[in-house]
Structure 1
Amino acid sequence: MMTLISSIMISFIVPMLVMIIASILSKKSINDREKSSPFECGFDPKSSARMPFSLQFFLIAVIFLIFDVEIALILPIVIIMKTSNIMMWTASTMFFVLILLIGLYYEWKQGALNWAN
């Protein structure tokens, strides 16, 4: 019992010490404006170093991720069809597909699927 308590104490104390030492050693002593600005051959930058981010690209990427996860969730539904109650399987599958279709309709009405803009 004593070894369990000592191992739990060690597993809490050692990471805390490592985090404290890392936070002490990683502090910057001087915040210099030149060092924190983007490097451009020693001169002040002419324009912003950051490129504008396309919100349309972000929305399409999120929609792709949602439908990618949808496919990962639909694949096991076909496999469990043989081993489950057919009425419960049909109801749960239709409910899942209905939620996805409502989400697609919402994205369509919000204009996230318009490629022309």
Structure 2
Amino acid sequence: MVEVSQISEFGKILIFLITGIIAVGLMFFLNRLIAPSNPTTEKLTSYECGEEPIGNAWLPFNSRFYVIALIFLLFDVEMVFIFPWATVFGSHEIITADARWGWFSLAEMFIFLGILILGLVYVWCKGDLDWIKPKPAVPTTNANIPASLYDQLNIEQGTFKVRPFAAEPALATTTAPVAATTEPAPVRKPMFKPTFKKPADE
């Protein structure tokens, strides 16, 4: 007779999490209980590769680290997708039920990897994987305009003076006082005349 497990898969995960939390808490408690506490100035300083920190920690961050992190995240997500794919479609029961599932899953994974590799090749060709990028080439044109014309234009622009702003005087306007009228306003008549029809049953 086959014994049925009383703990489901989620119950096993819950037991694993509880065991991990208890183990971590126990390690912290033993560290607090046994480890000696002797704080000094050197121990309380920030650790930076064995060197003393100099200056302010709020410095501009290089954007190249961000690009490398994005590329790492791209292939990290790829690995997360490949593991369940290999577990499910590598099952002997699925292949035995229908052999086409194996070829379908293989073609699907090749398409997925091809899209990721295409993105990697695009980033590589653009030079985003280079830590030190070459200086961009400034295009030059063979213009027949002499340099003296540019110098003359700069001189004319340099001698340009801004006219001071002066507000124009407002025009005096005289308005005659309006005489107050005590006459009542005319009553507006309705635009339509209501009519009522007599019911037919009366």
TM-score when normalising by structure 1:
0.53
Correspondence 1:103 to 2:111: no
In percent, how many aligned pairs have the same letter?
37
Please state how far the C-alpha of 1:49 moved relative to its aligned partner. Answer: 8.3
Q: For 1:74 and 1:52, locate their aligned partners in 2 and report how far apart those are by CA, in whole Å.
A: 37
Aligned to 1:56: 64
> Higher RCO, 1 or 2 (CA under 8 Å, sep at least 6)?
1
Q: For 1:104 and 1:58, locate their aligned partners in 2 and report how far apart those are by CA, in whole Å.
A: 15
Aligned to 1:71: 79
Identify unmatched segments of 5+ residues in structure 1: 1-47
Q: For 2:122 and 2:79, locate their aligned partners in 1 and report how far apart those are by CA, in whole Å.
A: 19
Q: For 1:69 and 1:49, locate their aligned partners in 2 and report how far apart those are by CA, in whole Å.
A: 32
Please state how far the C-alpha of 1:53 moved relative to its aligned partner. Answer: 2.1
Identify unmatched segments of 5+ residues in structure 2: 1-55, 96-100, 134-202
Alignment of 1:1-117 (within 5 A): 50-80=58-88, 81-82=90-91, 83=94, 85-117=101-133
SS in 2 for 1:68: helix
Q: For 1:113 and 1:49, locate their aligned partners in 2 and report how far apart those are by CA, in whole Å.
A: 27
SS in 2 for 1:77: helix
SS in 2 for 1:108: helix
Q: Deviations for 1:33-87, whole angstroms, at most 9, x for unmatched residues?
A: xxxxxxxxxxxxxxx9852221111100111111111111111121122236012
Q: Which has the higher helix share?
A: 1
Q: For 2:74 and 2:108, locate their aligned partners in 1 and report how far apart those are by CA, in whole Å.
A: 19
Q: 1:88 to 1:56 in 2, by over 3 A?
A: same
Letter in 2 for 1:108: W
**Runs of 4+ in structure 1 over 4 Å off:** none
